[in-house]
Structure 1
Amino acid sequence: MSARAAFLLLWGLALGRVTEEAVLIDTRANLWAEAESLLKPGAIVTLTCQSVLRTQEFQLFKDGVPQEPVRLDSPAFEHRFLLGAVINDTRGLYRCRYSTDGGWMGLSNLVELTGTEPLPPPLLSTETVSWITMGLNTTLLCLGGLRGVTFLLRREGDDQFLEVAEAPKAMQATFSVHRAGNYSCSYRIHAAGALSEPSATVTIEELARLPPPTLTLERESSEVLRPGSPATLTCVAPLSGVDFQLRRGEEVLQVLMSSTSPDRIFFHLDKLALGDSHVYTCRYRLHGELMPWSLDSAPAELVLSDGTLPAPELSAEPAVLSPKPGTLVQLQCWAPRTGVRFALVRENAGRRLVHSLLSPAGTKAHFELHDVSVVDSANYSCIYTDTAPPFAGSAPSARVELRVDGPLPKPQLRPLWRGAVTPGRDAVLRCEGEVPDVTFELLRVGEGEPSTRQWAAQPSADLVLTYVGPQHTGSYSCRYRSYWPNPFQSELSDPVELQVAGS
């Protein structure tokens, strides 16, 4: 066998995350081959499957098809699968797994045994973020399918830049980067050996300030709140281990905080007063009093009303309250005076959720619902609040019931590949709808349970069938659904045929 016999690792990385409340551990197995086994022509090649927990049962997969499980006499942390020389019968895409009392754990990383040269590329990725800024140590992770190789990192257009890392007991190497640029990595089996193909390029940007976090209201806090109610706001940063700050306008707030992971914080506001009906932002910084703060998050607004002001009037245009799907519906909220903040309220299951907010110059606010569908069916009302002390709020208007009949827009399913899928590769299908904040489901024709599902804030999602084999051949459709605040489910898309090469 050639010393350049190729092993390629494709890793769906899910790092264990240390939190303030729990330690999340990736329990999937690791799979690798030893680089030294490639130095001897015709050498017997083994794949080592290493478990996180002691086990007596390991299983190897080849080209998406499970092989006969191996039962050990006593518990162990690894098992070596003897493959022999790299010939047609042993070439392929491999994964492994192990069992516990709770059943089989998830599949390991992917190792490709090809027997071809040159060495295939490793996978280069950012460990945290794809940018650098003052005080931040940005790292790149280069992953290969062999243990005991030398990794090399290069910067495009910079012949002087070369970082080298030995990995005698690992399949990966971590590199720190301090300059913006386009980076790629490669590896070699020994000092005199040829380099592998380079990885795909990863671009590192330099930012003058940390990018903004995301601030959201917890579900209960997105209602019209009464004075004395609590509220919780969640601030999520793009990296972990930072300091957070909540602001109301330009005022920095000192409030109770909690966290479940080092990239987010929960701000708890207790016993809100009418003056707390305001716009809030959050920001973060790296640890240190002198470190600069990030850009501010997009604002989140709390709405409080004591119901003491006269109720406004709400009307709809068109007046018919059963519009056709896809039309524009306008809701006008009228108050008896100017200088107030209007809130359109959507009522579901006894809860009054703030839909949108306006501050017009006059006494009337014009709210628009574009391309309405059955998703918009609900009871609507409106309120208004003072923007200056004493910050009183109105009683709600009379309800307007909006009912949109007809099915939800049918999504479209597109395969992100051409021809037949290579056994052992992933098959990615993009489901495109018209409704955001829904769960997308991929279903095989004739089966009731989804093959995979994914929630998405955007009206589309990439649904992945991992490590396909002949058993995945068939027709697939997708749909989208929501369970809250009002349950709905779309029709199925037109089907897409999945063919697996060789089946």
Structure 2
Amino acid sequence: MVLAGDFYKPMIRAQPNNVVAIGEEVTIICEGPSDAQKFYLFKEGNPRSKILKIYEDTEEKEFFISSIESHNAGQYWCNYKSPAGISKNSDTLELVVTGKLPKPILRADPGSVVSRGNAVIIWCKGAMQTQICFLHKEGSPAPLDQQSPRGTLNNAQFSITSVEKNHAGQYRCYCYNSAGWSEGSDALELVVTGVYQSKVSLSAQPSPVVASGGDVTLQCSSQERYNKFILMKEGQKSPWLWASWNANTGVFQALFRVGPVTPNQRWRFTCYGYYVYNPQMWSAPSDHLELLVSGTLQKPNIWAEPGSVIACDNLL
């Protein structure tokens, strides 16, 4: 909190975000002390500033743009006037206006579900002649990183050498070339497992041996108070099923109905627990559970030679 009378550099931010699509709304907020009399908003290349007079005591003033156009993109800063004089300029805010180019494609390699401590590469594939791409994480006011595409595939590479829980979340990327900015990519949800060390157990009810074409119930449970559970099937990069149910016994568990089970694929599962307020942070995995499909081979034949009736003397 800034006390009245403090003479300091103001803070500038954009709400809801500094990356805005054409036609959307954005509010640029300049924060200063309560004795500020006027706030001034500046834009690079624009000789005129927007001035907002203060009529009530407050520590921030808002500059509202109701419908963003491409010419609104650029660098902004602000300052204020108080009885002590004109303040220092704020840091620069980069307002990015997207929508001129097709949205890039965002993906994670080897996948979007990553064990804590492992490495992951996030690829952003832009349009032809892309010059630079920016990676944004939901909730962060500024881009996490910027990279130029490599090679002829227009892929920008963003590497995380050791994933930690703060990397969990939703990501988007934006790319730029001489024609302007792209739309934002579809969101990539990066999940970090092993954030919570209380493991969960996975079992099949009534048995992991299932007749071909039949169903089975998988039970994922934990003594930890997880309020959501995820079931993943080997070979699929995203959760296959999810559900939640808390038993009265004090064991927190989820029941998943799986089927029909067929012999032409592998039915190997792992489950995780998590909390609804941190949906991209999962527990350590359960042990693997593999279903065995019965009835997939012909019933064997059994016979005796020379016959099934044998004289007692022949047994001696």
Q: Which one scores higher on RCO, CA 8 angstroms, separation ≥ 6?
A: 2
TM-score of the aligned structures, taking structure 2 as reference length = 0.46
TM-score norm. by structure 1 comes to 0.31
| Higher CA-based Rg | 2
